Structure 1
Amino acid sequence: MKTSFAALMAFSFLASPAMAHEVWIERDAAGPARIYLGEPADVVPEAGDPEFPNLKAPKLFQGDPAKPAPLVRRANHIEAAAAGSGDVRLSDDNVFAPWQGEGGKWEGVVYYARAGREEAKSVLDLEISPVSANADSFVVNWLGKPLPGAKVTVVNADRWQKSFTATPQGGIAVPITTPGRYLLSVSHDVEGARTLGGKTVEKTIHVSTLTFVAK
């Protein structure tokens, strides 16, 4: 029986309105970037995931984070133009309002996403980056440093999925089993006060995805 992406990630989102939702980017060659909110192992409904209205204004950029791309809302995704064929990234800390988690602690979520594996560098706070251009081996970085033991879920073009544990150096190797789009996902919980959605939270769940097309 196929295990849903939601079931694999639910332990990080107990009692959370965010559930197991992810934000990810799909891009074909030099075409526009398509930003989705949902469960990547499932087919995106034509009208969008029920939580799609919560995805309002992700900051997508190519090269310079200070120059976000203009966004166009479509039926089930948000579209952004991007020049050339380089990697694109986004961050969004305003998808779901903070919620009270276990023990009454206020929690919040910050999403990051990247499409492409041409650049062997990390720009986002939490990012999965190839060890070299177009490599099948990656490093999970938190604030620019490898995150040892990170739990990474891989969803391939056939929607097959499996979880891997990063090495002490934050590395993982992705088995390329079939041509098509791959999605990698990782989450990292950080304790400590910060403001999200106008409210002070005591724990922040950082969630990051990477997509690329294997040939």
Structure 2
Amino acid sequence: MKTRLWLAAVAALSSMPASAHEVWVERDGDGPARIYLGEPAEPVPATGDPEFHRLRAPVVLADGSREPVALDRRADHIEAAVTAPGDVRVRDDAVFDPWDGKQGKQGAIFYARAGRAETHAALDLEIVPVEAHGDTLAVIFRGKPVPDISVNVIAPDRAQRELKSDAQGRITVPALGAGRYILAASHQENGAARIAGKDMASIVHVSTLSFTR
């Protein structure tokens, strides 16, 4: 039920197609990164989410570099051949085509990060640990904390909890069992902007963070 309530809040933020969907990254140790498009609170279908075909060429940032990373399309995810240790980030502004919103054309940019080793943000919207591998994190939009933003926490058993950031944009993730956690936040930016060379009246930024404990 909490999943649907949080997704309804996202849908209310915009009329974004498939607004329940997010991009997220999973990485085990220093192995390759697995990039998904779908609903992270639900089991990933063996053949991929019905919208997975829309995830075509995400930009992968690893070791602070934007150098091209080899992408291997699998049945339910894209595997990125990341060899450097540390956090992995992904950005994609071409998942869904622009749609008609109340104020004009709207677009979406998806961001994802795996790992909590680095305490700086490299994406426009990012959930960042205050201390390396710490449980207190800050939601940062273009270098500034975002207060009172909802962050959906998906525990290893897929149970969920919604947290609200404080005045410094911070949340503290409670212990909800051992395994992989996925956090998600969205922020709407109003005003003229461009995505992939197209003019927009507003942009919905959607960001996730995954880590294991």
Class of the TM-score when normalised by the shorter of the 2 chains? over 0.9
Instruction: Tell me the residue number matched to 1:70.
Output: 70
Q: Is the 8 A contact 2:109 2:203 kept in 1?
A: yes
Partner of residue 165, structure 1: 164
Separation in 1, partners of 2:3, 2:40: 13
Q: Which residue pairs with 2:13 in the alignment?
A: 12
Matched ranges for 1:118-197 at <5 A: 118-197=117-196
Distance 1:123 1:182 in 2: 20
In structure 1, what residue type is equivalent to 2:98? P
Q: How far is 1:2 from its partner?
A: 5.8
The residue type equivalent to 1:71 in the other structure is: L
Please say if 1:52 is aligned against 2:68. no
Runs of 4+ more than 4 Å apart:
none
CA contact (8 A) 2:91 2:112 kept: yes
What amino acid maps onto 1:10 in structure 2? A
TM-score normalized by the length of structure 2: 0.94
Residue pair 1:98, 1:197 contacting (<8 A) in 2 also? no
Q: Which amino acid aligns with 2:118?
A: E
Aligned 8 A contact 2:93 2:109 in 1: yes
Q: How far apart, CA to CA, are the structure 2 residues paired with 1:125 and 1:197?
A: 15
Using structure 1 for the length normalisation, give the TM-score.
0.93
Deviation at 1:8, TM superposition (A): 4.9
Aligned-partner residue type, residue 83 of structure 2:
A
Q: In the alignment, does 2:103 pair up with 1:100?
A: no
What is the percentage of aligned positions where both structures have the same residue?
A: 50
Q: Residues 190 and 201 of structure 2 are in contact (CA less than 8 Å); yes or no, is this contact kept in structure 1? A: yes
> Which residue of structure 2 aligns with residue 31 of structure 1?
31
Residues of 1 paired with 2:191 and 2:89: CA distance? Answer: 26
Q: CA deviation at 1:146?
A: 1.1
The aligned residue for residue 199 of structure 1 is: 198
3-state secondary structure, aligned to 2:117: coil
Aligned to 1:209: 208
**Structure 1: gaps spanning 5 or more residues:** none
Total equivalences in the alignment: 212
Q: Residues 150 and 163 of structure 2 are in contact (CA less than 8 Å); yes or no, is this contact kept in structure 1?
A: yes
